[in-house]
Amino acid sequence: MTSPALPSYSSGTSTVPLLGDTIGANLDRTAARVGDSEALVECATGRRFSYPELVAEVDATALGLEALGVRKGDRVGIWAPNCAEWVFVQYGTAKLGAILVNINPAYRTHELAYVLEQAGISVLVAAPEFKTSDYRSMVADVRGDCPELREVLFLGDPEWEQLLTTGRAADRELLARREAELSADDPINIQYTSGTTGFPKGATLTHHNLLNNGFFVGEGCGYTEADRVCIPVPYYHCFGMGMGNLGATSHGATMVIPAPGFDPALTLKAVQDERCTSLYGVPTMFIAELALPDFADYDLSTLRTGIMAGSPCPVEVMKRVVSEMGMTEVTICYGMTETSPVSTQTGADDDLDRRTSTVGRVHPHLEVKVVDPATGLTVPRGTPGEFCTRGYSVMLGYWNEPERTAEVIDRARWMHTGDLAVMDDAGYLNIVGRIKDMVIRGGENVYPREIEEFLYSHPDVVDAQVIGVPDERYGEELMAWVRLREGAEPLTAEALREFCTGRLAHYKIPRYVKVVDEFPMTVTGKIRKVEMRQVSVEELGLESAAAVRNA
């Protein structure tokens, strides 16, 4: 009698215990341990801070906010690109027990007003401007509609400088008393996650959520105080402030900010000039870096590790990062804002195939399972289903939205991600798509990720995204949006279909092809497939097929 297949369930055992610290206490502990080691470098200005200097700036920020009347549980918004002050505010609010609300730098007045109001922000720290955004005028436009917003501080203005001056002159004992009132389970961060419909939801995270996740990501990268982590990913997202900053400070490593916003050349220059050992990025960032005409001129010899995450990681791109950037210990992380964010990670000791073609195994102290979305039952290994995770990393809930929280966190505290995954016999996971992205063509379930991976093997394709578009006969048909290498011949749908024929099942071959210079994207590097579908329906004249109603 053969034994039944193992269920798609795994738990992360570890000999390293969870941290019970608050974020502020952990920073102080690190600073005491590593002494004058460099903590933070801001390449754009040349500013550098040792760990004692970083703690002094953090404490001044905390005490300055305290003098403004900020107390435990108050919401402090930050609306700025990556800069040293972002770091001071992140750790300073944590020391007070105030809840930092990250505001996406790409937001406009409509979204800003919603977040200010929904989170009940009383103090906003903002950059005066960034790229095409005039933050001063946008704040002025919405301020009258946000009665709880009582203070706005623009970085570099006299009011901001006064806050730091007040904080530096204040009694450090006052901050120690405030910190003594804090629990590691207190909420200290709200991050707004964009749904495909409706307003964003505010994932509410604790010291314990964020500090431990950053720490164990850093453990996965083998960080010590000798590491220098280049962080071109945005701070307003968990990738930057959690995996980046907290991953570094919990190990005494150095945080390097290459530029306020992502720039591929400035990122590689920072790696070279600052002798970085680790580099973070979403796949599109690594693709942009590898595509620089002078890529080979940068000295990246100090790179050892790093993280690719944020959206599906193409296997071919991972292989190039290992071979051409020297990131031999690079890891892939998978997760979501609601889980602080990482649930799985590849290991430096995994073989190249697993390190480039899976999202790794369950993180320490967490549980993961793959379930049938219809029944909620755990599926056998090798079977696709919805990825769920449980443990210290799961958010408290969506800020002031218990109904929306109940939609994703079940009674047993499992977070339902909406992602489709497959777990193999050794516990490694593959993300095969979103439940909402899955294309059903003539009754066949098609996972765009599989076709995207195949299209990367075309010699002229540097990036590919596959979506479903409405079709009156099959319900949905496949469409590929592709970016071609410079100098490549134009690619027709016929030529691409010919390339696929005999190598992909007929129902997986894209019917439509669109060649683009770039994809519509969120600032975190996630592809906006909803927008791609809308554009495609209009361009292909598929409105009547889109209007067909299905049960």
Strands annotated E in 127-175: 129-130, 133-134, 151-154
Contacts of 390 (CB under 8 A, 6+ apart): 366, 367, 368, 412, 413, 414, 415
Domains of the chain, earliest start first: 23-423 (3.40.50.12780), 438-546 (3.30.300.30)
What DSSP string describes 117-135?
HHHTEEEEEE-SEETTEEH
- Are the CB atoms for 244 and 231 separated by under 8 Å? yes
CA distances from 145 to 109, 251, 310, 357 (A): 11, 43, 34, 48
**What token pair was written down for 166?**
């007040």
Q: Is the pLDDT of residue 356 over 90?
A: no
Whether cis (ω within 30° of 0) applies to the bond prior to 520 is no
Position 514 scores a pLDDT of: 96
**Residue 77 pLDDT:** 98
Identify any residues that bridge with 281 across adjacent strands, giving them in sequence order: 308
Query: Which helix H or strand E contains 11, and what residues bound it?
Result: strand 9-11
Q: Distance of alpha carbon 231 from its chain centroid, rounded?
A: 12
Return the number of other C-beta atoms located less than 10 Å from residue 128's C-beta.
14
CB 192 within 8 A of CB 202: yes
CB atoms within 10 A of CB 13: 8
Listed range (87-96, 114-123, 377-386, 466-475) with the worst mean pLDDT: 466-475
How would residue 198 be classed by pLDDT, with cut points 50, 70 and 90? low
CB crowding 153-164: b at 16 or more within 10 Å, else e? bbbeeeebeebb
Helix spans in 366-515 (H): 402-408, 448-455, 493-500
Contact (Cβ atoms closer than 8 angstroms) between residue 138 and residue 108? yes
Q: Report the C-alpha gap between 96 and 63 in whole angstroms.
A: 8
Block residue for tokens 């610290």: 21
Closest to 124 in 3D by CA, of 95, 163, 97: 163
What confidence score (pLDDT) does residue 548 get? 64
In terms of Cβ atoms closer than 10 Å to its own Cβ (0-12, 13-18, 19+), residue 219 is middle
Q: How confident is the model at residue 196 (pLDDT cuts 50, 70, 90)?
A: very low
Count CB-CB contacts under 10 A for residue 502: 8
Regarding predicted confidence, which is higher, 60 or 551?
Answer: 60
Over the chain, what is the mean pLDDT?
Answer: 94
pLDDT digits (tens, 9 = 90+) for 199-210: 789 999 999 999
- How do 38-42 and 397-398 pair as beta strands? unpaired
464, 480 contact by CB (below 8 A): yes
Residue 340 identity: S
The pLDDT value given to residue 194: 66
Instruction: Mention every residue, 6+ apart, whose C-beta is less than 8 A from residue 495.
Output: none
Of the candidates 448, 435, 515, the residue with the CA atom closest to the CA atom of residue 481? 515
Q: Residue 188: is its pLDDT beyond 60?
A: yes
What's 303's DSSP letter?
Answer: -
Mean pLDDT within 8-30: 98
Using only C-alpha atoms, the chain has a radius of gyration, in whole angstroms, of 24
Which residues is 55 bridged to in the sheet? Answer: none
Predicted pLDDT of residue 117:
97
Average pLDDT over residues 428-440: 85
Nearest to 536 by CA among 436, 452, 465: 465
Region for residue 400 given its phi and psi (left: phi exceeds 0; alpha: psi -120 to 50; beta: otherwise): left
Tell me the C-alpha distance between 266 and 234, whole Å. Answer: 15
pLDDT at 2 over 80: no
Band of residue 502 on the pLDDT scale cut at 50, 70, 90: confident
**Three-state DSSP class for 482?**
strand
Full-model pTM: 0.87
* Distance, CA of 104 to CA of 523 (rounded, Å): 8
- Residue with the larger pLDDT of the pair 436 and 346: 346
In this structure, the number of other CB atoms found within 10 A of the CB of residue 104 comes to 20
266-to-144, 150, 253, 374 alpha-carbon distances in Å: 39, 37, 21, 47
